Amino acid sequence: MIKLSENNYDEVLDLVFNKALSDNNLIKEHMYLRSDYIPDNLPFRESQIISIGQSLSPILRNTKCSNLLLYGKTGTGKTVVAKYVTNKLIQRTHELNLKVRLAYTNTRIAGTSYRVLSNLADSINLEIPFTGIAVGEVLQRIIDRISQNKYIIIFVLDEIDYLVKTYGDNLLYELTRSSDKFSPGSLSIIGISNDLQFKEYLDTRVLSSLSEEELVFPPYTTEELRAILEQRSKLAFSKQTYSSGAINLCAALAGSEHGDARRAIDLLRISAEIAEREEGDNQLEEKHVRIALQKIDRDRTYDALNSLPLQAKIVLLSVLYFDSTISTGDVYNKYCDTCKKIGIEILTHRRISGLLSELDLLGLITGSVISQGRYGRSKRIHALISFQTVKEVFVEDPVISPLL
């Protein structure tokens, strides 16, 4: 048994702590480098802010406002703008002493219809059990509460496309319909969707009610991203500790994807953290951004691969066994062999088909359905990652490692 030398750690920790305490740190305020921080001034979203403000303004006259749908890809500012405007509105309603309540939920994080409603209930101080009562009953209690207290509710449903795709539009139907039921009190919905085609999943009645007003958030241009990063850098960093080249590179890298501000800000933060940990003069340079980019990509695939269930890992390996494009049938045969080799239960063809679709969604493989006439209809599949990458992660899995 090795006895740890406490003194050694003392010295190292002292160094680490002293560095954190010293004034010449690169990052002054971490808060401004978070992508969920809401700045006082949201650049390049003026028209959207005004539009939403106008749509919500009936609230100030104590009447219901239109339902609203916000569209745009990730990192285009939908959530931050919605929070910004609703927060401002709520401030005004406090001054005016109105019974307005704001509820926010991210349906993907909430997970189920039940928990979405639970978030709504929280906003009106209605306690509902974690589980045990039916969704319809929860909704009824909420409706009763709203009517009784004449609440005016703004319900922000973030990533609403997730809710609809996994649970259908029942809940939205009930919510939009219920808003007609109470004459005192009202419920207005602001839906936020990443998916531009999400409307196709909705029943026409729900759609017409929900999208009384629509707003599209375009991606940020590289130049706009640069300005946003500049703004954040001024707030977050000590003076003269970052190069404009580094900022430009962050903006360019994020801009080349689809103008994703969240990604740009994350990249900036990770770069700064790397620069800060480095020995020396604590300058944020382009080289740090390049390291950060690699780190982000690596972490992302590492997490995706590592969290794969065992069977999905075997399926992925079976795909990687071939180096050209192959069919589902090929994968299944190889998969069966592999299972036999390591003595693992073989799943059905149907299940493998499903697992392949999941791997496709994760972006680890890609497949497209192709008909070969007489020779059937199948999915042509090929891997999007190298065997080498997968191997590095999978060696840690005791069941899989014998295969490598």
Partner DNA sequence: CGTCCACAGGAATGACGGGCGG
Partner DNA sequence: CCGCCCGTCATTCCTGTGGACG
Interface positions with DNA (CB under 7 A): 111-112, 114, 129-132, 134, 309, 311, 327-330, 332, 345-351, 353-357, 367, 369, 371-379
Residue 218: other Cβ atoms inside 10 A: 15
State the minimum distance, in angstroms, from the CB of residue 138 to DNA. 11
State the minimum distance, in angstroms, from the CB of residue 278 to DNA. 40
State the minimum distance, in angstroms, from the CB of residue 271 to DNA. 34
**Which of these, 72, 78, 287, lies nearest to 198 by C-alpha position?**
72
Q: Record the tokens describing residue 378, joined without a space.
A: 């199948």
Nearer to DNA, 81 or 393 (CB): 393
Nearer to DNA, 181 or 377 (CB): 377
State the minimum distance, in angstroms, from the CB of residue 286 to DNA. 41
Nearer to DNA, 213 or 360 (CB): 360
Q: What is the distance of C-alpha 309 from the center of its chain?
A: 21
State the minimum distance, in angstroms, from the CB of residue 384 to DNA. 17
Half-sphere exposure of 115 (CA within 13 A, CB side): 10
User: Helix 286-306 crosses helix 244-257 at what angle (to 10 degrees)?
Assistant: 40
State the minimum distance, in angstroms, from the CB of residue 205 to DNA. 19
Nearer to DNA, 129 or 280 (CB): 129
With residue 382 as reference, give the H or E element that holds it.
strand 377-383
Cα of first residue to Cα of last residue in the chain, in angstroms, is 34
State the minimum distance, in angstroms, from the CB of residue 395 to DNA. 21
Residue 198: other Cβ atoms inside 10 A: 20
Nearest 10 degrees: CA dihedral of 38, 39, 45, 47? 100
Which residues, other chains included, contact 343 with Cβ-Cβ below 8 Å and sequence gap of 6+? none
DSSP state of 65: P
State the minimum distance, in angstroms, from the CB of residue 368 to DNA. 9
Find the radius of gyration of the CA atoms of the chain.
Answer: 26
Nearer to DNA, 324 or 348 (CB): 348
Nearer to DNA, 268 or 319 (CB): 319
158, 192 Cβ separation under 8 angstroms: yes
Nearer to DNA, 157 or 365 (CB): 365
Dihedrals φ, ψ of 42, to 5°? -100, 100
Q: Record the tokens describing residue 56, joined without a space.
A: 């919500």
DSSP state of 369: E
202, 171 Cβ separation under 8 angstroms: no
State the minimum distance, in angstroms, from the CB of residue 30 to DNA. 31
Nearest 10 degrees: CA dihedral of 85, 86, 89, 91? -110
222-to-71, 287, 387 alpha-carbon distances in Å: 20, 19, 34
Nearer to DNA, 58 or 354 (CB): 354
Nearer to DNA, 251 or 315 (CB): 315
